[in-house]
Chains A and B, each alone.
Chain A
Amino acid sequence: MKLAILGAGAVGRSVAELAGEYGHEVAALADSTSAAVDPGGIDVERALAEKAQTGRVGAAAPEDALGTEYDALVEATPTTLGDAQPGFGHVRTALERDRNVVLANKGPVAERYDELRELERESAGSVRFEATVGGAIPVLSTIESYDPATITAARGVLNGTANFVLSRMAAEGLGYEHVLAEAQDLGVAEADPSFDVDGTDAALKCVILANVLGTGNYSLADAEVEGIDELPGSALELAAEDGRTIRLIGEATPEGVRVGPRLVPENGTLAVTGTRNIVQLETEHAGRLNLSGRGAGGPETATAVLADVNRLE
């Protein structure tokens, strides 16, 4: 397939780099200010080298990437809230041109799910978004193959940064600020980690899960969200004394979407450590299903994007 990749951050870059390995061609790669476009296939290595050197991936404008010939648009621009722009507009343009869309950007599926599905119904193209929930973990495709109607609830640890902070605080008895600074040094936390630690990122993923499991129509505004940014080390100590620990748990149940720090058994399934993510699916006929793995990262998320691309064929 011919791919047009919007967004040249960790995910967009990795998709471009790995596309060839999966048998796909990159017709365009764009960041926020520039694009490399060639319907016959761009030279990914050169475009990325140019970005590293000049800050631009190519001579073309970003809109040119959206206008060129491709089979699937990979939307990997940063997630935005509210109207989810410009990501949503990119998806609309591609669908109106009867192209397929693969999202790594959570905004359009979390904030405007129903509109997105409506656009998809009118288009010959389809929309996939495995990469938006749980990074490399095949959460949405599992739900799809089981049939969403047979899954009664989903919950889990959906933010690696928050999980890293909590597991480090618990293991070392360190304070929140100290561990967060350490996470930033390690590249586990971004310079501005607010979406990770205030629960927004996990909530977006749970909203997407709720949309897929239910009748849609959820957005971030419907979620009850609490973060871990106010938790002192003493809370983790008290939890540990009792054989428990604290994890930022997201839930998508028939009662709604809820994200917040919760007490879980210290050695329980949900108490994953480090940046690992886990999703538990409650199935109607097959008990509980635990899916865990790497929930973020360029190559990890790109793997989910390219798995989606393969499913389009």
Chain B
Amino acid sequence: MSDDASGGELRAHTVRLELVDEPGELLNALEPIADNGGNLLSIFHERGSLTPRGHIPVEVDLECLPHQLDAIVADLRESGVNVIRAGTERYGEEVTVLLVGHVVETDFSETLSTIESDAAASVVDVSLSAPNGTSDVSSARLRLATEPGKTGEVTEAVREVAERKDLQVVEPLTELEGSA
């Protein structure tokens, strides 16, 4: 790990790409990473499986600074590579939940910090909607990042804190997405 004056810390990221099945495509996709100072960690090239459009899914793990990731993704897109997702790999999976009830009055910031500490999760994004004021029933959408395979623990932690604060949790039905 190294610090950089331009801000942010060096982090591992997973970038998911879809490549056309043509010679040179993979190399074409890797160049922008090196060109922008990214450090390639691993490539998972699923040659056997195809997306519905007949593309090959590729997962690239790389290490770089936040602004470098933006440049890499921009360059990839410019060179015609289909970028499906570019996220922070430290937290490989994300789970979105809703909290409903007296979200604000029950110390929202304590709710968030409890979830983070109890479940080794990181709150990536929070949206709050309190159309009738913060003292009435309101809703919050939390996007939580966690390590692969830990989403169950995260929802469990959310449920616990919600129960203590008499909030209703709307959990995702995540295991359903994908296969059909």
Q: Which residues of A contact B (CB under 8 A)?
A: 155, 226, 230-235, 237-239, 241-242, 244, 246, 249, 260-265, 268-270, 280, 287-288
Contact = CB atoms under 8 A, between A and B. Distances in A.
Nearest to A258: B171
A265 B98 contact: no
Contact of B100 (A155, A232, A262, A264): A232
B54 interface: no
A268 B137 CA distance: 28
Interface in B79-127: 96-98, 100-101, 127
B5 interface: no
A241 B173 contact: no
Contact of A234 (B131, B143, B171): B131
A198 to B, nearest CB: 13
A264 B139 contact: no
B127 A238 contact: yes
Nearest to B167: A230
A288 B175 CA distance: 12
B173 A238 contact: no
B177 A261 contact: no
A155 B174 CA distance: 13
Nearest to A264: B173
B130 interface: yes
A160 to B, nearest CB: 19
- Of A232, A239, A260, A261, most buried by chain B (CB within 10 Å of CB) is A232
A269 B179 CA distance: 11
A288 to B, nearest CB: 6
A238 B173 CA distance: 16
A263 B179 contact: no
Contacts of A242: 96, 127, 141, 143
A234 B172 contact: no
A232 B171 contact: no
B176 interface: yes
The majority secondary structure among interface residues of chain B is strand
A235 B98 contact: yes
Top 9 closest A-B pairs, CB basis?
A234-B129, A238-B141, A235-B139, A263-B172, A234-B139, A262-B173, A261-B170, A235-B100, A232-B137
Contacts of B173: 155, 249, 262-264, 270
Interface string B156-178: 00000000000010111100110
B179 A287 contact: yes
Nearest to B127: A238
Interface residues of B, number: 24
B179 A288 contact: yes
Interface of B: 96-98, 100-101, 127, 129-131, 137-141, 143, 168, 170-173, 176-177, 179-180
B171 A230 contact: no
Contacts of A262: 170-173
A155 B173 CA distance: 10
B138 A232 contact: yes
A226 B170 CA distance: 10
Contacts of B129: 234-235, 237-238
Nearest to A232: B137
Contacts of B141: 238-239, 241-242
A280 B173 CA distance: 13
Contacts of A237: 129, 139
11 contacts: A232-B137, A234-B130, A234-B139, A239-B170, A241-B127, A242-B141, A242-B143, A262-B170, A262-B171, A269-B176, A287-B180
- Of B97, B138, B171, B176, most buried by chain A (CB within 10 Å of CB) is B176
Contacts of A287: 179-180
Nearest to B101: A230
A232 B101 CA distance: 8
A230 B100 contact: yes
B176 A268 contact: yes
A265 B177 contact: yes
Contact of A230 (B131, B138, B168, B180): B168
Given A230-B101, A246-B170, 19 more contacts: A226-B168, A235-B170, A237-B139, A239-B170, A241-B141, A242-B96, A242-B127, A246-B98, A261-B168, A262-B173, A263-B171, A263-B172, A264-B173, A264-B176, A265-B177, A269-B176, A270-B176, A287-B179, A288-B179
B123 to A, nearest CB: 15
